[in-house]
Structure 1
């Protein structure tokens, strides 16, 4: 009897330990993922990191991605061209691990997939190719899962990219590929027994996914699956590079961004209401039933138009597309990942930002465009002063916990606009470090409500839980030397 009790106790202990060892559910992970970024045309390039115009990825680049507000990275990856007789090259696995570590080191969620990879899966969703593709899927995912088994919930695996499926037969085949993926990962045990996994809808198209993917593969652990779709609609606005016989490019997207003169290039379909309806389908079909959905890719190309006013309207329209898409996705519980390649948002070789306007639009759409400002060393909030009009007396911001600031890029500097009431942040400064803070009251040099005083944008931004801007903030103005905003010495807003 004592032996039996001991066995029962041991089995119970193992059960408790196993339960504790499980990674969080897909819903819990998705809740932590805010806005995502694609490391596009890089590790999925056939066959080398720079083969498609990419750059060698560094920790500094990923640090920059995080600093801009992204907390999730999707890493498209090729494996087939890096293997010999079905065995993935150890050097390639090590390089992929290094890039994954860049992301995980920054506390970012990371999605690793088998991307296009020459099309061996996504161009072969047929009954004829089914057996051979499943064998390759099982082989590669067993190797990948084993190699990355020790990673926690910050690493997610995604079965494929854009599997070419348009009917129920192809959908049945695709589900078998996803089932093989899940079975292979789970069979490796350890953290992979409860890791969140992502499966792709047919062609990652919302309409096809809604009509064809009515069941999901079987998983031996509940609540660990996510669904992936992509959004490049309307194609004429997002990707079409020249007018075609069947239709023109769209330069202007959004009901308030149509051209009164270049009317043939106004969008005639796929605008705000269509986008909302498409995302609502995914919310109703999956999110409302506890299955997270990621918009694994979205983008709209930047066009260079001959007429300056046309180009200006196009650029505003493009920013509206990014802002609106992200806002609609977030409101419906979807997680958006912008598609980006080298020399798109970033010059990856120089680790510099090329398209800060798009980043700002994304963060505005995600509700992350407002920040609290605090002193790095003390943690105290920066004191807020404002004016009801330019050159009027400065007024203290009330200490009511609502003070957040929107960062507005102007040239190489930032304006800080108050979220609640609109006036710009006014400047406090010290002539000498440690001296009492003074109001910058000279009418010719004040930090005016009109926004003449700005902060350099090359600051480190911490988009963590407190959303604080950290570092020394320097005001550009007409004094002989730069002045530093006094941080944390007066009554401060939270």
Structure 2
């Protein structure tokens, strides 16, 4: 989820055990403007496959349930600016003990960088490294991205902005990749979060941003020569992935790429907080959860058949071809303003949505990462505060 909005997406089941196909050729991107930022690939080293032998499909097979540490490292104004405490080792250990296999770390970088040189503050790079070490020590896989980050990439997937954005993408990832180069395959990098892209022209620009990311990471060498990298579908939206995505980026490493989508459909049920001109809030979701006394709040689209169709797109387009898909964010939350039977039916609907979406994602090969900003696990004194959500996800992924 970005600081602006969540975008829909979809998933698919367990990736096929066969190796991913070799990436298809793609046009050579327009060179980044010379001299816009210094090169930060100042100490490349020889490729090192020690601890990096697993393919993307191998790693996907080990991730049953993933967890987001949201509204924290990506918070504008600092790690605690959006109300969460500093990420602690105790919290990370608790996430692992609760049954999760991986964490997604949304992160901001631009606010910690010199706006003239794109140099990221060393203290911030060290802080991110510390949090990753907590995760790796706990036996978790880690997916680190450049999140919304003020929108410098997400809001500028456009021909007129692509040179400047690609230059910053290159500068940032050269630094991030170099600083974190020694972690083994438990660490994965993700190019972006929810890039705003909804046309074929913008898709070509997004391909360039992803290619810049891949090339920058690989160029630093060491374990980064083999690290699994994740690239985001347009808007991380399943329908747009189906209509706009026509090739994988090129990669010097074989079978080390995943694709990411998000899922918040129907948005009127999962996220909308007040009626809008384009649609009303839904309180109730699922064939057995429609209200007879409050029918205007029943979902009238986006129910089971829609989930099935969305997940099937990801299966046919990616997972059937040996390309794992990360369902990087998904969540529906109960509405606190309801009481009585309405509250009971809304809770039943939310639980059913979480169960159904998770099960269908897994069945079609997607790796589900629940979005959380501190509401389901207390981060200060680690404890589960929403056992219904946690148990639903873990049961749906076969972890409980």
Q: Would the TM-score normalized by the shorter structure come out above 0.5?
A: yes
Q: 2:389 aligned with 1:358, yes or no? A: yes
Backbone CA RMSD of aligned residues: 1.3
The residue that corresponds to 1:96 in the other structure is 128
Cα offset, 1:308, TM superposition: 1.1
Is the CA contact (8 Å cut-off) linking 1:47 and 1:82 kept in structure 2? no
Is the CA contact (8 Å cut-off) linking 1:33 and 1:71 kept in structure 2? yes
Q: 2:58 aligned with 1:28, yes or no? A: yes
In 2, Cα distance between the equivalents of 1:231 and 1:69?
A: 22
The residue that corresponds to 2:303 in the other structure is 271
More strand by share: 1
The residue that corresponds to 2:87 in the other structure is 57
In 2, Cα distance between the equivalents of 1:81 and 1:244?
A: 33
The unaligned stretches of length 5 or more in structure 1 are 1-16, 370-494
In 1, Cα distance between the equivalents of 2:53 and 2:175?
A: 20
- 2:67 paired residue among 37, 44, 48: 37
The residue that corresponds to 1:346 in the other structure is 377
The residue that corresponds to 2:186 in the other structure is 154
Cα offset, 1:57, TM superposition: 1.0
Q: Does the residue aligned with 1:324 lie in a helix, a strand or coil?
A: helix
Cα offset, 1:18, TM superposition: 6.2
The Cα offsets for residues 85-128 of structure 1, whole Å up to 9 and x where unpaired, read as 31111111111111111111110000000001010001001111
In 2, Cα distance between the equivalents of 1:263 and 1:164?
A: 34
The Cα offsets for residues 169-195 of structure 1, whole Å up to 9 and x where unpaired, read as 100000000000000000001100010
The residue that corresponds to 2:144 in the other structure is 112
Is the CA contact (8 Å cut-off) linking 1:23 and 1:195 kept in structure 2? no
Q: Does the residue aligned with 2:282 lie in a helix, a strand or coil?
A: coil
Greater RCO (Cα-Cα under 8 Å, separation 6 or more):
2
In 2, Cα distance between the equivalents of 1:217 and 1:147?
A: 24
The residue that corresponds to 2:100 in the other structure is 70
Alignment of 1:94-243 (within 5 A): 94-243=126-275
The residue that corresponds to 1:332 in the other structure is 364
Is the CA contact (8 Å cut-off) linking 1:230 and 1:296 kept in structure 2? yes
Q: Does the residue aligned with 1:295 lie in a helix, a strand or coil?
A: strand
The residue that corresponds to 1:486 in the other structure is none
Cα offset, 1:340, TM superposition: 0.4
Calculate the TM-score normalised by the size of structure 1. Answer: 0.70
In 2, Cα distance between the equivalents of 1:290 and 1:172?
A: 23
Is the CA contact (8 Å cut-off) linking 1:275 and 1:325 kept in structure 2? yes
Structure label with greater radius of gyration: 1
Cα offset, 1:21, TM superposition: 6.4
Q: Does the residue aligned with 1:88 lie in a helix, a strand or coil?
A: coil
Is the CA contact (8 Å cut-off) linking 2:48 and 2:223 kept in structure 1? no
In 2, Cα distance between the equivalents of 1:230 and 1:306?
A: 27
Is the CA contact (8 Å cut-off) linking 1:23 and 1:152 kept in structure 2? no
In 1, Cα distance between the equivalents of 2:338 and 2:205?
A: 48
Q: Does the residue aligned with 2:61 lie in a helix, a strand or coil?
A: helix
In 2, Cα distance between the equivalents of 1:21 and 1:309?
A: 54
The Cα offsets for residues 410-429 of structure 1, whole Å up to 9 and x where unpaired, read as xxxxxxxxxxxxxxxxxxxx
Cα offset, 1:64, TM superposition: 1.3
The Cα offsets for residues 148-169 of structure 1, whole Å up to 9 and x where unpaired, read as 1111110000000000000001
Cα offset, 1:305, TM superposition: 3.6
In 2, Cα distance between the equivalents of 1:348 and 1:262?
A: 36
The Cα offsets for residues 36-67 of structure 1, whole Å up to 9 and x where unpaired, read as 01000000011200111221111111111111
The residue that corresponds to 1:488 in the other structure is none
The unaligned stretches of length 5 or more in structure 2 are 1-46
Cα offset, 1:352, TM superposition: 2.2
The residue that corresponds to 1:283 in the other structure is 315
Cα offset, 1:245, TM superposition: 2.8
Is the CA contact (8 Å cut-off) linking 1:23 and 1:191 kept in structure 2? no
Cα offset, 1:304, TM superposition: 1.8
In 2, Cα distance between the equivalents of 1:268 and 1:284?
A: 27
